[in-house]
Structure 1
């Protein structure tokens, strides 16, 4: 009887500790979630505030005076905003699809133990993770040798493949795809391309979603490639446009003459701070909406690639 009482007492103590631990972790995650969420809410609040309230009262979580000037102005600048949005969508979709295919195919090749150049190519992939060739050499190769300057490909190709993503794919394929499955397909006469597309990829959704999300975020949030390689304003992405807005108000005023509006009138009536925040919201919303649909695969693929390596 005493032993049973001690056992129940110890179990109750263990349950209390477990409950306290769970509450502590929940509080920590709530605080971290607020740290991530509050800045977005502040940006949304500023985008909905009037210029006078921002100028007089500063930034607030709840605007002191609401105004739709910023979004109305974005609608008026629909041609330029939609063009930048189209470039961002095009670069993100094409870059993500191309990057996933190149990264997974390279990772699959390196994951095969009987591939003769496995060791050499693994080092070739690994070295750029430690040593970078530098910005000058990259610019020279992309602009002069490849002739990518002022083309959409300058926004796509430099970010298509990274050593980190290749290593994740290699680890995933090596630890998840059974060698017996590949060998049985080879015995049946399947080529490596058919094995890769018909067998390997259909059972590799977690790593595909993981790499796809990495690439999608990289392309969608990138403005640096535009700053380096793009002089033609028609090829500006949303992020490059926002970067110009953060630097000066001229970015939205450059097309004033084509719309029959004087530069002085445009600058005087433009909602400066709220417009910048409104463009930031336009950039953030698509990624925030898409992420929950891929979160399950993202976490699964990242866990397998990182833990089983």
Structure 2
């Protein structure tokens, strides 16, 4: 059945609106990219531009000429990769245990997870727990262990596990498979959309983490990338010091402001490239638990 003229016109309007909206969203990103490659003096005189009037890569040279940004990059990469893997493992195990009536008191145990979504002990109790009892101060694991499992993500995954046909579990048990084997060989392979979507949520959270560095880290070598960029954005003097340390000549203007823009571009790189690989799972993962049989 062919579309009517009204349907074609309406579809064209929708496509046009989506294109304009995409351009509006992309414009600030391109403005930062162009300005980060602009000479510092030109930026101060002419302001931000999509196309640099005086091209200069001094800001990026200043960033990678010091150890501040590369060290923070390694810390954030480790936290994101290891933290996402451990979070997916712990979340899937908890969700599997609380799904399908495997535990006698599963609903009561789930209430403890749900309670933490509504109430929190506050920053003081969290600080005492993290430093005094867990001993995570000045440790890279302070970025991971306190936020290892998100109750919201656990409930999403549990709902997805509940949608898997029970006959698969029964046939696996008849073949002698244990719970760990069922989770590894049946549940997780069938839950790739949910795993990819929740994994992306975890990765974004770990990549954007900066508060643990401010509260629990005193060693500059363990500062996360987002904490460094926050300091640079708030403190022009820090951007100036990084720029001066990375400058080739003392007579040139140190790229303090373009360093802030270049650092912002460096921080978002891996996450921007990660999304296209997970996009095919993302739409299916957003429908976790939406369809009930």
Question: What TM-score, normalized by structure 2, do the two folds share?
Answer: 0.90
**Which 5+ residue runs of structure 1 have no aligned equivalent?**
1-10
Q: Which one has a larger percent helix, Structure 1 or Structure 2?
A: 1
The residue number in structure 1 matching 2:205 is: 218
The residue number in structure 2 matching 1:22 is: 11
Map residues 224-243 of structure 1 onto 2, 5 A cutoff: 224-243=211-230
Task: Choose the corresponding residue for 1:298, options 267, 276, 282.
Answer: 282
Task: Choose the corresponding residue for 2:107, options 116, 119, 122.
Answer: 119
The residue number in structure 1 matching 2:193 is: 206
Tell me, in whole angstroms, the C-alpha distance in 2 between the residues paired with 1:221 and 1:130: 23
**Which 5+ residue runs of structure 2 have no aligned equivalent?**
none
Tell me, in whole angstroms, the C-alpha distance in 1 between the residues paired with 2:102 and 2:219: 48
The residue number in structure 1 matching 2:260 is: 276
Tell me the secondary structure at the aligned position of residue 111 of structure 1: coil
In the alignment, does 2:60 pair up with 1:71? Answer: yes
**Bigger Rg over Cα:** 1
Offset at 1:308? 4.7
Cα gap change, 1:103 to 1:37, in 2 (>3 Å): same
Q: Is the 8 A contact 2:239 2:257 kept in 1?
A: no
Task: Choose the corresponding residue for 1:142, options 105, 115, 130.
Answer: 130
Task: Choose the corresponding residue for 1:245, options 227, 232, 237.
Answer: 232
Tell me, in whole angstroms, the C-alpha distance in 1 between the residues paired with 2:150 and 2:170: 29
Tell me, in whole angstroms, the C-alpha distance in 2 between the residues paired with 1:255 and 1:67: 16
The residue number in structure 2 matching 1:4 is: none
Offset at 1:117? 1.5
Q: Is the 8 A contact 2:91 2:149 kept in 1?
A: yes
Tell me, in whole angstroms, the C-alpha distance in 1 between the residues paired with 2:169 and 2:115: 29
Cα gap change, 1:260 to 1:286, in 2 (>3 Å): closer
Offset at 1:269? 4.8
How much is the aligned-residue C-alpha RMSD, in angstroms?
A: 2.5
Tell me, in whole angstroms, the C-alpha distance in 2 between the residues paired with 1:298 and 1:260: 40
Number of aligned positions between the proteins: 291
Cα gap change, 1:286 to 1:19, in 2 (>3 Å): same
The residue number in structure 2 matching 1:190 is: 177
Tell me, in whole angstroms, the C-alpha distance in 1 between the residues paired with 2:188 and 2:259: 43
Deviations 1:50-106 (A, max 9, x none): 1112212222222332211101212322x2222111101100011000000011111
